[in-house]
Amino acid sequence: MLRLDEVDVAYGPIEALRGISLQVNEGEIVALIGANGAGKSTTLMTISGILKPRSGSLRFRGEEIGSLPPHQIVGKGISQVPEGRRIFRRLTVLENLEVGAFCRTGRKDIRKEIQTLFDHFPILRDRQDQPGGNLSGGEQQMLAIARALIARPRLLLLDEPSLGLSPVMASRIFELIREINLGTGAGDGVTMLLVEQNARAALHLATRGYVMETGRIVLSERCDRLLADPRVRSVYLGEVVPMISP
């Protein structure tokens, strides 16, 4: 579904991504893990069209999208849930969802799908007339996910969905991500590329994973193998892994 080949991205003279290559197959959850500043969010913003690649190829369902503006990329079927949620705090919950559908036509269908999302996120139905800024952190995260889903994405980019949440709420968000991927709630299943600070949770949730360091992909493997990898366990999972003498 998504393929990046040798993508370079720079902030002025500073290289942020250097030769990034990755792919996401239809139906998967793919995890992208790494330390702060490794380039994970930059990767998602490049896929979304917010940043433009300096070189390399970025293809979605076989079509080159690297030069397209963000609204056209949304129209192609890619939505992003940004780090920090970035909901419209002064707009109501309902208005936030309506803004998420700005690329779509057919207001009657949109209203119907909002009601379906309310079935999936019942707390948002209860809060639909409240300003987004009045919601708790977990409720805002649910709103950010629902706002992305109303655009009918084929691919959902999730940037740190558990950031700042309590363990209980983070666990619920991970459950929702799995349900959305499988299509057990609102609509059909959605393919996902997940950036997540909780590397252990991300690798348990995903099927495959990529490890980023200083703007490069340094490891790519099935998640069960990444969870067993001594370096991943030591650096990203916080485990004390004894060194084995040669």
Number of domains in the chain: 1
Does residue 144 lie in a domain region? yes
- Which CATH number goes with the domain that contains 37? 3.40.50.300
Which residues partner with 23 through β-bridges?
3
Does residue 243 lie in a domain region? no
- pTM of the predicted protein model: 0.90
pLDDT in tens, the chain (246 residues): 999 999 999 998 899 999 999 999 999 999 999 999 999 999 999 999 999 999 999 999 999 999 999 999 999 999 999 998 899 999 999 999 999 988 777 777 888 889 988 988 999 999 999 999 999 999 999 999 999 999 999 999 999 999 888 999 999 899 999 999 998 654 579 999 999 999 999 999 999 999 999 999 999 999 999 999 999 999 988 876 555 544
Torsion of CA 10, 16, 20, 26, to 10 degrees: -100
Does residue 206 lie in a domain region? yes
Contacts with 57 (C-beta within 8 Å, 6 or more apart), sequence order: 3, 4, 5, 6, 7, 64, 66
Does residue 241 lie in a domain region? no
What is the amino acid identity at position 43? T
Boundaries of domain holding 161: 2-235
Does residue 107 lie in a domain region? yes
What is the amino acid identity at position 180? I
